[in-house]
Amino acid sequence: MKLDSTYKLAIVVGHEKLAKGAKLGAPLNTNEYDFNKGIAQLTYVFARDKSIDARIFYRDGIGIRGVGKAVTEWKADACIELHCNSATPAAYGTETLYDLDPPNSKKLAEHVQAAMCGVFKRQGKGDRGIKLLKEGDRGHYNLLGYKCAAVLVEPFFGSSLSDCKIAWGVASGYSRCLVTSVIAYFNQLEGEKENAK
């Protein structure tokens, strides 16, 4: 289905210049913030190529609350906040976090999770699923500021050598899949509008 209007996608880079998040192992040899800056740029280019009005947002100097306000003021239709997981070297997998408010966040999470699992070739335990965040959960405060459908993505574990090797090889595909999943979500909304007529 061809989208009949221009949708807006907010791409939020998690963490900040002065607090860059988790360290990502070899062969990435970087951190969450710097890795996701690159992913955000690729995602932006792919989104614009598909006629989605995209914008990259940073927390630098404004924090979590400030970026939520900026995304809301821009009137985004969907928001993806970019992160990476970290735990023990044995931990691996892909997950997508969402909140109940707004309700469409779950639909967006389902599309994003499926697309990421395709790119990262996740099956079984590697597909950690979509996770509804409750008050006090890590990442919940991040999503509270968004008034559009929003997800926080954790595509791989920076503490896992095998996950970092996968991420090294699929950066372009990962960025592209975020866009295709958002398009699938927007198309679902369009289909629901049509069915409601």
pLDDT tens sequence across 150-180: 999 999 999 999 999 999 999 999 999 999 9
Q: Is the alpha carbon torsion for 128, 132, 135, 138 positive or negative? A: positive
Kindly state whether residue 180 falls inside one of the protein's structural domains. Answer: no
Region label for 29, one of left (φ > 0), alpha (ψ between -120 and 50) or beta (otherwise)? left
Q: Is residue 42 part of a domain?
A: yes
Instruction: Examine residue 185 and state whether it is found in any structural domain, yes or no.
Output: no
Tokens encoding 31: 């951190």
At 138, which CATH number? 3.40.630.40
Alpha helix positions (H), the chain? 32-49, 63-74, 105-119, 140-144, 161-169, 171-196
Provide the pLDDT for residue 2: 53
Q: Which two tokens stand for residue 93?
A: 């997998």
pLDDT (0 to 100) of residue 101: 86
**Is residue 123, in this structure, part of any structural domain at all?**
yes
Q: Which amino acid is at 42?
A: L
On whether residue 49 sits in a domain, the answer given is: yes
Residue 1 confidence (pLDDT)? 47
Q: Is residue 98 part of a domain?
A: yes
- Residues in the chain with pLDDT < 70? 1-5
Residue 24 lies in a domain: yes
Q: Bridge partners of 23?
A: 31
Instruction: Give the chain's domain count.
Output: 1
| 164 within 8 A of 158, measured Cβ to Cβ | yes
Please give the pLDDT value at position 136. 87
In a domain, 193, yes or no: no
**Dist. CA 150–CA 108, nearest whole Å:** 7
What are the tokens at 46? 């792919």
- Range of the structural domain that residue 15 is part of: 8-167
In this predicted structure, what is the pLDDT of residue 99? 96
